[in-house]
Amino acid sequence: MEKNRVAFVDGLRILSIFAVVVVHICADGWGKLPVSDPDWRILNIFASSVRWCVPLFVMISGIFMLKPDKHISVRSIWSKYILRMVVALFLWGTLYYALKAPAGSFHDIGSLANVLFTGFTSNIFGATHYHLWYLYMIIGLYALTPSIRIFVKGAEKKDLEYLIILFTIFSFVITLANIFLTQLNFKSIAILNIPEFSGFVCYYIIGYYLYNFGLPKNIRITFYVLAASSFFLTVFGTQILSQMSESTFSGLHGYLLPTTMLEACAIFVLFREMKAFSTLSDKGSSFLGSVSSLVFGIYLIHPVFVSLVWKLGLSTSSFFMPLAIITLSVGVFLLSLATVAALRKLGPWARYVL
């Protein structure tokens, strides 16, 4: 086990991947049910409560990739980090494409080769499985990392705060404002639409900032209150806007929104300040680290088990919905965890694809 592992970061990583599973368990039924159905409201609550999952992954990456004292050359960025993402993207993208192909597509070697070739090349154009979009995004962040590291290394705390504020206003706040304006048939705010201040780079830098500087107690409490308010705004805002359009409106579930950012930051800070992690025994820390090291593989493979759940006739409506969501999410998580742990034992090469 790595000696420099941080227990609360391992905890965040595990929580985030479980939240991703919840998102995908809820997604199937949530988009199909009418807005007036009481079950739709339950799914909306669960789906709205875990939108911070991907931002937290990016924030965690920022902790380690932007450390000034960690030597990361441009060559290692491409040969170690980006290469692993590219290999995983093409392998899993091709596999998922083949799994979705009709059974008759594999009647001979030629047809099998055609399916695999089509699946492989589709990844070049972004036409891949729904959850693999994350790999495209993280590849872009890794490619930018050497330049971001130069800024971070020379920046003071106030410089980082200034940049985060700019990102928050021009990316997150304007995006949320435009969602409400367009839904209410008003024109969106175009004058402040600045592409340079959009994307996941902000979460990358926020993760580094919060890990190294933290927040004073009064600011932390403010973040907790705002995060709770953001959750309620997401739940009720989604319900109201969906009722207005008479169909599921998921615009408030975006990752690049101030509501999502506040929730992600609040959870990050909460875990950072929890004494349970700092007083964790070596055995407990080792266990967290072992599970955390499998999270990338769980992310890649869990849709296989989500699909298996649906093919078995199970759904979030199979029994009492809140219990069904939790049970199915835990089941998919544990099956994915066990499968990745088993496959990792096949050899060192497995770390490149899991």
DSSP states of 128-140: --GGGHHHHHHHH
Distance of alpha carbon 147 from alpha carbon 53, whole angstroms: 26
Residue 305's closest CA among 329, 282, 284? 329
Q: What are phi and psi for residue 31, nearest 5 degrees?
A: -80, -15
Distance of alpha carbon 15 from alpha carbon 49, whole angstroms: 12
The whole-number pLDDT of residue 350 equals 83
Distance of alpha carbon 240 from alpha carbon 233, whole angstroms: 10
pLDDT at 326 over 80: yes
Distance of alpha carbon 101 from alpha carbon 87, whole angstroms: 21
The whole-number pLDDT of residue 167 equals 86
pLDDT digits (tens, 9 = 90+) for 250-291: 999 999 889 999 999 999 999 999 988 988 898 999 999 999
Q: Which amino acid is at 171?
A: S
For the ranges 150-164, 174-188, 236-250, 264-278, the lowest mean pLDDT is seen at: 174-188
Distance of alpha carbon 198 from alpha carbon 151, whole angstroms: 17
pLDDT at 1 over 50: no
- The confidence band for 198, taking pLDDT boundaries of 50, 70 and 90, is low
pLDDT at 344 over 70: yes
Average pLDDT of every residue of the chain: 90
Is the CB of residue 150 less than 8 Å from the CB of residue 205? no
Distance of alpha carbon 198 from alpha carbon 180, whole angstroms: 19
pLDDT at 178 over 80: no
* For residues 129-138, average pLDDT: 94
The whole-number pLDDT of residue 190 equals 53
- The confidence band for 188, taking pLDDT boundaries of 50, 70 and 90, is low
For the ranges 74-83, 182-191, 314-323, the lowest mean pLDDT is seen at: 182-191
Residue 301's closest CA among 230, 225, 354? 354
Q: CA 110, 113, 117 angle in degrees (round to 5)?
A: 140
Report the number of secondary-structure helices (H) and strands (E) in the chain: 17, 0
The whole-number pLDDT of residue 352 equals 76
The whole-number pLDDT of residue 46 equals 97
pLDDT at 110 over 90: no
Residue 299's closest CA among 126, 134, 56? 134
Is the model more confident about 211 or about 126?
Answer: 211
Written as one string, the DSSP assignment of 144-167 is HHHHHHHHHHH--HHHHHHHHHHH
pLDDT digits (tens, 9 = 90+) for 25-80: 998 888 788 999 999 999 999 999 999 999 999 999 999 999 998 889 999 999 99
Percent of the chain with pLDDT over 70: 95
Q: Domain residues of the chain, as ranges?
A: 7-353
Handedness of CA 325, 46, 22, 124 (dihedral sign): positive
The whole-number pLDDT of residue 3 equals 41
The whole-number pLDDT of residue 235 equals 96
